Amino acid sequence: MMKKITLYTSLFAAAIMLFSACKKEADKTANFVASDESTAYVRVIHAAPSFRSIFNAPDSFNVYVNDIKMNAPFLTYASVFPASTTAFGYVAVQPGLNQFRVNIHGFASASPDSTRLINFSKVFQAGEYYTLLLTDSIKSQRDSSQMFLKDAYTKPLNGNYGLRFVHAVWNDTAGKTIDVFSARRNANIYTNIKPGQISTFNSLAANTQLSDTLYVRRSGTLINLAQLNGVSFANQRSYTLFYRGNGDLATGTKARALATYLHN
pLDDT of residue 140: 84
pLDDT of residue 72: 82
pLDDT of residue 116: 84
Given a cut of 60, whether residue 61 has pLDDT beyond it is yes
What's the pTM? 0.81
- The runs of H, that is alpha helices, within 128-260 are 143-146
Tens-place pLDDT, residues 9-19: 343 333 333 33
In terms of phi and psi (left: phi > 0; alpha: psi -120 to 50; beta: otherwise), the region of 240 is beta
Given a cut of 90, whether residue 264 has pLDDT beyond it is no
Instruction: Give the DSSP letter of residue 89.
Output: G
Every domain of the chain with CATH number 2.60.40.1120 lies at 1-26+35-152
Distance separating alpha carbons of residues 256 and 252, to the nearest angstrom: 9
Q: Which CATH architecture has domain 155-264?
A: Sandwich (2.60)
User: So what CATH class is 1-26+35-152?
Assistant: mainly beta
Tens-place pLDDT, residues 192-234: 999 999 999 999 999 888 899 999 999 999 999 999 999 999 9
Whether omega before 2 lies within 30 degrees of 0, making that bond cis, reads no
pLDDT of residue 26: 31
Tens-place pLDDT, residues 143-194: 878 889 999 999 999 999 999 999 999 999 888 999 999 999 999 999 999 9
Distance separating alpha carbons of residues 264 and 33, to the nearest angstrom: 7
Maximum pairwise Cα distance, the chain:
56
Average pLDDT over residues 250-259: 96
Distance separating alpha carbons of residues 157 and 28, to the nearest angstrom: 19
Average pLDDT over the chain, rounded to an integer:
83
Q: What percent of the chain has pLDDT over 90?
A: 57
